[in-house]
Amino acid sequence: MTSFDLNSITSALTDTNKPETGVDFSGKSLKLDTEKDAQPIIDAINACPNLQYLTLTGNTLGVAAAQAIAKALEHHPELKIARFSDMFTGRMKTEIPPALSALGDGMIAAGARLTVLELSDNAFGPIGVEGLAKLLQSDVCSQLQELRLNNNGLGITGGRLLAKALAANPRKLRVFIAGRNRLENDGATALARVFQTMGTLEEIAMPQNGIYHVGVSALSEAFKHNPNLSCLNLNDNTIGSKGAEAIATALPKLKNLKSINFGDCLLKSKGAKALAKAFKDNSMLLESLDLSHNEIGREACMEVVEAITALPDSADRLSRVVLAGNSLGGASNKKTMKEKLGPSAELSDGEGSDEEYVSGSEEEETDGEEESDENSEDSATEDAQHMDTIVNMGKEINLDDTGVEEVKTDVGIFLESPTLENLTKLGPKAADVIDAHLQAIKDPTDLITAYVEATFCVSGLSEESNLAMDIAQELYPIMLKRAGQQHAAAWLLANTMLRGLGLIKSENKEYRIRWKTSGCYRVLALAVNRPNFPTPLRDTLRFFIASRLSTLTDKNIVEKHPELYRS
C-alpha cells in the first residue's frame, strides 16, 4: 500500500490560495476498456501537480480502465471536484459498481476531500449506489457540498440505499440534485429523513420522480430544518392540493427561498391558493416561480399573481413567473397579470381560456376538488386504469374448460420443482433437452431469466449428485451463448445471476430462490475461469461476492473457492 506524508496531505487540504487546476477530458467520446486505453488520462493526472478537479464526462469507462485511473488518483490528496457524469455509455449496468468502487478507493487511499461529486446521466440503477456507498460513507465526502445524481435510474431501492449511505456519516450538503430517478414516495421519504439531519441545504432538485403528496409531505418536514433553502425544484411530480398545503406549512421557515419550480404538479386551484396564501402571509421574496400546466383556474391564478406582487419591490425582484398552461381567463385578466408581473410574466397568450379548467364558477371547482384529489392522487396512471379495464373485460368472459387439462412437460415439472428425481427423468442429454425447451421463449428478458434459473436449478443439486454437476457444467456455455444472442444481454445476464445467487434483492416481491445457492457457487467456481466466460461478467460477480462475503449464508462454501472473489 502506498504511504503518504501527513504534513503534505494537510498542506494540500488547507492551502486555499492555489489556483484551480486539473484534468478535463470531457466530451472526447473515448472508449476506455483497458489500462492502455486510459494511459492518456493517467499521464495527464500524473503530470498535474495540483489536481483540484478531474472531469471525465462524455467518455465510457470499463472496470480495468477505472482501476488504472484510480491508481493515479492515489497520489492526489488535493482533489476537490470529481465530474463523472455520462461516463458509462454502452456499459453493462453491472460493470458500473466495480468501476465506481475503484475510483472511490483511489480517492480514499489519497485522503482526498471532495466538495463536488457529479454522477448524473449514468443509468446505473440501484446497484450503482452499491459501488458508491463506501465512498459516500468515507472521509472523502466529509466536506462534500454538492451531490448531483440526475437521471441515474435509482428507483425506490436506489433511493433507500442512497439515504442509508448518506445517513451513516451525516453530511452537510448545500446542493442535492436527483431528478428523473423514479424515487416515488418511499425513496423521497427515506431521503427526507436524511435531509432533516443536514440543515445546510440551499438547493434541492428532484423533478420527475413519481412523488405524490405522501412523499411531498415528508420532504416538507425536511425543508423546515433547512432554513437556507433558496432553490426548490419538484417539477413533474404529483404534489396536488395536499402536498401544496404541506409545503405551505414549511414556507414560514424558508425566508431565503428565491426560486420555486412546481410546473406539471397537478396543483389545481386549491393547491395554488394554499401556496398563494403562504407567499403573501410570509412576505416571500421570490425571484422565480414556475406553476405552469397545473390545471389552475383563473381566480387562483390571479391570487398567485397578487400574492407575489404584494411587496413594493416585486417589479425589480421578479425575474420569471410562469403560469402558462393554466386557465388565465380572458384578455382583461391577462392584461392585469402582465401589468402586475411586468417583464417576468410568461403567460403564453391563448393557452388557457375561461372554460379550459373551470366548469361553472370558481367556487364549484374548489368545492369539487377535494374529491378529485382523493381520487387522483396516489391512484393508477391512465395506462394502468386502461389495463384494469382490459382485465375486467376478461373476467366477464367465461370459457368452458371442461375436460381441458394443462399439459406439463418434464422440463417444466423440473423447473417448477428442481429435485434430483425430476432431473433424472430428463435423461442423459438433460442439458440439450432443457435448451430445446427454453428456445421457444421469444422475449429476451424472459429467455435470459429462464436460462439462468434452469442452470441454477441444476447447479443447486450438484452437492448431492455428480450427474447434476456434469449437467450444470454443460448448461453454462449454452446459457452464455443463448444470452449473448439477445439485445442488451450483458447487463440482463449479470443482473439475473446476481439476483439468483442472493447477492442483490429482486424488486419483484413474488420472486423466490428455489435452488440451493451453495451448489450454485460450487459450479460457478468451475465455470468462472473458463475461456468462454465473459470477463466483464466475471469481474462483476467477483466484485459483488467479495463485497458481500462476510454476510453470505454460503460464506464457508465460497471461501473455499477464492477464484469467486479474487482477481
Burial 474-504 (b: 16+ CB within 10 A, else e): bbbebbbebbeebeebbbbbbbbbbbbbbbb
CB 492 within 8 Å of CB 534: no
Residue 105 lies in a domain: yes
Q: Which residues contact 364 (CB under 8 A, 6 or more apart)?
A: none
Please report how many Cα atoms fall inside a 13 Å half-sphere around the Cα of residue 254, on the Cβ side: 29
Residue 474 lies in a domain: yes
CA gap 120, 87 in Å, rounded? 9
CB 276 within 8 Å of CB 307: yes
Residue 138 lies in a domain: no
Question: C-alpha distances in angstroms, 71 versus 67, 237, 455?
Answer: 6, 42, 38
Range of the domain at 50: 1-131
Residue 471 lies in a domain: yes
Strands (E), 217-330: 231-233, 259-261, 288-290, 320-322
Which of the listed residues 113, 131, 149 is the one where a domain comes to its end?
A: 131
pLDDT of residue 455: 96
User: H-helix or E-strand containing 290?
Assistant: strand 288-290
Collapsing DSSP states into helix, strand and coil, what is residue 511? coil
Residue among 345, 321, 318 nearest 334 (CA):
345
pLDDT of residue 492: 80
Residue 377 lies in a domain: no
Quickly tell me which residue has 388565465 as its cell: 328
* Grid cell locating 158: 436506489
pLDDT of residue 13: 43
* Grid cell locating 453: 434459473
pLDDT of residue 489: 67
- Per the structure, the count of domains in the chain is 2
Residue 164 lies in a domain: no
Kindly report the CA angle at 265 between 386 and 247, in degrees rounded to 5? 135
In one letter, which amino acid is 441?
A: I
pLDDT of residue 65: 96
Residue 112 lies in a domain: yes
Which of the listed residues 131, 146, 172 is the one where a domain comes to its end?
A: 131
Quickly tell me which residue has 366477464 as its cell: 396
Residue 234 lies in a domain: no
**CATH (domain of 42):** 3.80.10.10
Q: Which residues contact 380 (CB under 8 A, 6 or more apart)?
A: 388
Could you read off the pLDDT tens digit of each residue along the chain, which spans 567 residues? Answer: 444 344 443 444 444 454 589 999 998 999 999 999 999 999 999 999 999 999 999 999 999 999 999 999 999 999 999 999 999 988 877 788 889 999 999 999 999 999 999 999 998 888 888 889 889 999 999 999 999 999 998 999 899 999 999 998 888 999 999 999 999 999 999 999 999 999 999 999 999 999 999 999 999 999 999 999 999 999 999 999 999 999 999 999 999 999 999 999 999 999 999 999 999 999 999 999 999 999 999 999 999 999 999 999 999 999 999 999 999 988 899 999 999 999 999 987 434 444 445 433 333 344 333 434 444 433 333 333 333 433 343 333 343 333 333 346 888 899 999 999 999 999 888 999 999 889 888 888 889 999 999 999 999 999 999 999 999 999 999 999 988 877 656 778 888 999 999 988 877 777 889 999 999 999 999 999 898 898 888 888 998 898 888 888 899 999 999 999 987
**CATH (domain of 523):** 1.25.40.200
Q: Which residues contact 513 (CB under 8 A, 6 or more apart)?
A: 500, 502
Which of the listed residues 88, 110, 131 is the one where a domain comes to its end?
A: 131
